[in-house]
Amino acid sequence: MRNKATLTGMSAIVMWSMLALFTAATQGIPQFQLLALTFSVGGCIGLIFLSRNGAKGWKKLKQPILSWVIGVGGLFGYHFFYFTALSHAPVVDASLIAYLWPLLIVLFSAFLPGESLRWYHVVGAITGLCGASILVLQKGEFTFSAEYSFGYLAAVVCALVWSIYSVLNRTQGSVPTEAVAGFCILTAILAFFSHLMFEQWVMPQTSQWIAIIALGIGPVGAAFYTWDFGTKHGNIKMLGVLSYSAPLLSTLLLVISGQATASWNLAIACILITGGAIIASLDFFSQRWARA
């Protein structure tokens, strides 16, 4: 069960690596509008599956208030503060700070019942962070400036929100993953109100609608369902470290599609991220060797 759940959670990381590819096709669509539309798609697909079981399916949405706060707070809170950070600080700076969340997941998971933090978990996470940083810094230099303090703070909150959500989700094992459909719908509603407050509506073109639907099906849809299942029942520390592979896979997809070029930085990042994942998985390998 644990290994299956970990593999399920890993599929979310693979889907998130497609974000840049699909998001590039939605260029010109305001951020909160895009968030509202994609989460609407992801939520509606979940509701369709729930409806197949009739009243029994709909009952899965009836969860404690705390579960809704954790679910919606994680999904909407992360994106709200990430977009805020991008609006008030350089993209490279905000992205690098926000991408502390995998390391924070590894650290915070030590407070969960039955979990322990080993040296190789921390070393693996930091190694992965170094690899991801190389990829982010390819887009420009990290230039700390006091004038961007608000943006930096938003990026820190963004990292904290997602890491805390992922770790707290472990305590919600009794809440079925199908409930994520409701979290997605409420996130879409909050995103729509944010859009009305901060943005102007832009009518998507046909190609953009296709990209929006693709995002809602995968990276902003199924990915959150599989991440929910993985963090509840899988190896959360391993998932945290493996999350650093998302920017690597994303860059590789852009290279394959001709939207980016291969470089030595990419090769070095690949070695660091892969090495970090192996180091952090020493407990998994040691268990395998013990059984052999």
pLDDT tens digit string along 161-181?
999 999 999 999 999 999 999
pTM, two decimals, is 0.89
Domain map (residue ranges) of the chain: 2-286
Poorest-pLDDT segment among 58-62, 215-219, 230-234, 286-290: 286-290
The mean per-residue pLDDT over the stretch 259-278 comes to 81
Contacts of residue 148, Cβ cutoff 8 Å, sequence gap at least 6:
88, 89, 90, 93
Does the pLDDT value for residue 291 go beyond 60? no
CB-based contact 165:74 (threshold 8 Å): yes
C-alpha 247: how far from its chain's center? Answer: 11
Mean pLDDT of the chain: 89
Read off the tokens for 144. 């700390």
pLDDT for the residue numbered 2: 81
pLDDT for the residue numbered 271: 87
Backbone angles phi, psi at 227, to 5 degrees: -65, -40
Read off the tokens for 192. 């729509």
pLDDT for the residue numbered 227: 98
Read off the tokens for 200. 């102007």
Does the pLDDT value for residue 292 go beyond 60? no
Residue among 205, 188, 183 at smallest CA distance from 72 = 183
b/e sequence 140-160, b meaning 16+ C-beta within 10 Å: eeeeeeeebeebbbbbbbbbb
Per-residue confidence band for 145, with pLDDT thresholds at 50, 70 and 90: confident
The mean per-residue pLDDT over the stretch 120-129 comes to 87
Give dist(CA 253, CA 247) in Å, integer.
10
pLDDT digits (tens, 9 = 90+) for 183-226: 999 999 999 999 999 999 999 999 999 999 999 999 999 999 99
The mean per-residue pLDDT over the stretch 132-148 comes to 76
Per-residue confidence band for 286, with pLDDT thresholds at 50, 70 and 90: low
Highest mean pLDDT among 20-24, 49-53, 271-275: 49-53
Poorest-pLDDT segment among 18-32, 120-134, 140-154, 273-287: 273-287
Helices (H), 218-257: 223-233, 236-242, 245-256
Give dist(CA 285, CA 27) in Å, integer.
43
Give dist(CA 37, CA 76) in Å, integer.
13
